[in-house]
Amino acid sequence: MADPTATVADFPGRAELESLLAGLVPPEWVAAVHRGDEGEIESLRGTIDRGAVVLALGRAGWIAPHYAREYGGRGLAREEAQRALTLLGLWDVPHAPLGSGVPLAAPTIDQWSDEDTKQHLLPPLLSGAERWCQLFSEPGAGSDMASLSTTAQRDGDEWVVNGQKVWTTYGHLAERAMLLARTDPDQPKHKGITYFGLDMRSPGVEVRPLINMAGQREFNEVYLTDVRVPDIDRISPVGEGWAAAVTTLSAERHALSGLARKKRKASDEILGGKPYVDVERLAIARGVTRDPLGRQRLMAAYIEHRVLTMSIQRSRARLAAGHPPGSEGSLTKIAKAAANQRLQEVAMHVLGADATAWVQGDTEAEEWITQFLRTRANSIEGGTSEIQRNIIGERVLGLPREPDPYKGVDWRSVPR
């Protein structure tokens, strides 16, 4: 088989990157990359230290090569950086820190922060030294996030933060957080918010686990008690945190990525669930494909999977060609959540009675059920599907917004 890396056009620093990669993985991995053996790479995944690989790539500027060198990138043009990320995808090594720092925090800091804050926050983020989480949602501010009540009061060159956040993905592992806090309660709810880059190691930050029904810890609730935040960690101008948050919430559609084929792995993807190819393999092994109803369910899942894949590819191709984002990005979240949930339901039909009881110690059966349970959150996390439909109706289709009797009223006066 031809070497797949040979199809990637050259870019500045390519030889340096390939030399670095060859030193980070075992020789068998290098050989598997050049012959395109994805199965062999997957079998060798346990032989590398994920964190060490990410840090090595980050220190060399390859996590986000399109950023300037002083911020921790390589200063490459976007097309050159995309080729570098494509090559990293073909090597199939971890090349981004866990969390939402690179796709969400970095573009927001780059757009909204002053130079001192950029120099302070971006290098450790883009080097992989600091993992980021998101402190946006609150127990009383989920769908209506702008009604948040966590406060930040100015005290000289610092801000004192008090409040509670919830559904913080990987908050127990993160060193920093994107934090929205109310700095002026006498302004309308969207106007009195400021955006910070909170150090999660600060005194007064308490992270409590939220264990999901699959027994996994991804989410947390975070309590903030008299947490002191230096003003240099303020990402947005005072009072402009909501506008900066909109940048964060839309940043994924602008995030630069490579064009290598993305492989779905159940264990390390936040959506959870098994990929279609695994469900099909299970169905064949159990003889379900000989049943007309079983085939119909499987083919419906396959069609949905292919349509969604092509929609995502079309959206990426438009961005790569320099076109502005279209409505595809707005639709993908709903479609992906629904398709993934239905696919796992097909898997449960295939498993039959084994989905409710299995032999103790059968880790494969347990993994199928764990992944099914995890996917029930897909239509809730990251904005419920109902809220996403409202967004599509208003922002894509142009339908009228629901009336808000408190629009323009200062936050302090709005009943809660």
* Residues identified as active-site: 252
Contact status, residue 252 vs residue 112, Cβ threshold 8 Å: no
Helix (H) or strand (E) holding 32: helix 27-35
Distance CA 344, CA 264 (A): 14
Distance of CA 384 to the CA centre of its chain: 16
Distance CA 106, CA 251 (A): 9
Return the bridge partners of 158, or none. 155, 230
Contact status, residue 327 vs residue 395, Cβ threshold 8 Å: no
Helix (H) or strand (E) holding 205: strand 205-211
Helix axes 276-285, 328-351, angle to 10 degrees: 20
Which residue, chain included where needed, has tokens 């040979």? 6
Helix (H) or strand (E) holding 22: helix 14-24
Distance CA 203, CA 412 (A): 28
Contact status, residue 90 vs residue 260, Cβ threshold 8 Å: yes
Which of helix, strand or coil describes residue 199? strand
Sign for the CA dihedral angle at 100, 101, 105, 107 comes to negative
- Quickly list H helices, 254-327: 276-285, 292-320
Q: How many helices (H) and strands (E) does the chain have?
A: 13, 7
* CA distances from residue 230 to 181, 196, 227, 245 in whole angstroms, order as listed: 14, 9, 10, 20
| Other C-beta atoms lying within 10 Å of the C-beta of residue 355 | 15
Contact status, residue 379 vs residue 385, Cβ threshold 8 Å: yes
Structure tokens given for 12: 């500045």
Angle at 26 between CA 25 and CA 28, to 5 degrees: 120
Strands 151-155 and 205-211: unpaired
